[in-house]
Amino acid sequence: MSYIILVTGLPYGTQNAITAFLFIKSIILLNFCIKKVFFYASGVYNANCMMYPPEHEFNILQGWINLKKKYKIPLCVCPSSAYRRGILLNEFVSDAEKIKENFSSSFQWMTLSELSYSMHDCDRIIQF
């Protein structure tokens, strides 16, 4: 069974992102395949590399990065949603002295059209 996970919730303040993260870990333990994780709407904030939670709290950004490294799961972000919410690459930042790049290099851009094509190759799409 193969899955695409759609994350639309904020990394902190709601349970959507952490629930998606824990769901993915349990799916992996069952030997199912996660084709990709797609961050859309407010879920794009999960790709903000300028999040610094206190040391005693779970760092969701680092959790996503570790999942990608360990299990080779693509972490995809909708560029339109990201631009609307100020998640930017250096090439799109107009005043580099005031604003630094805040898009984590562990994530990649993926349009909704590309997402729709990849849906044909999976068994389930689950939104959090």
Residues 73 and 92: their CA atoms lie apart, in Å, by 26
Looking at this protein, which amino acid is placed at residue 15? Q
Q: Any idea which fold 2-127 has?
A: Hypothetical Protein Ychn; Chain: A, (3.40.1260)
Got the DSSP string for 55-104? TTS--HHHHHHHHHHHH---EEE-HHHHHHTT---GGG-S-TTT----B-
Can you tell me the mean pLDDT for 98-102?
A: 61
Residue 78 among the catalytic residues: yes
Q: Catalytic: which of 33, 49, 76, 78?
A: 78
Q: What's the pTM?
A: 0.89
Task: Tell me the per-residue pLDDT of 10-52, one tens digit each, with 9 for 90 and over.
Answer: 999 999 999 999 999 999 999 999 999 999 999 999 999 888 8
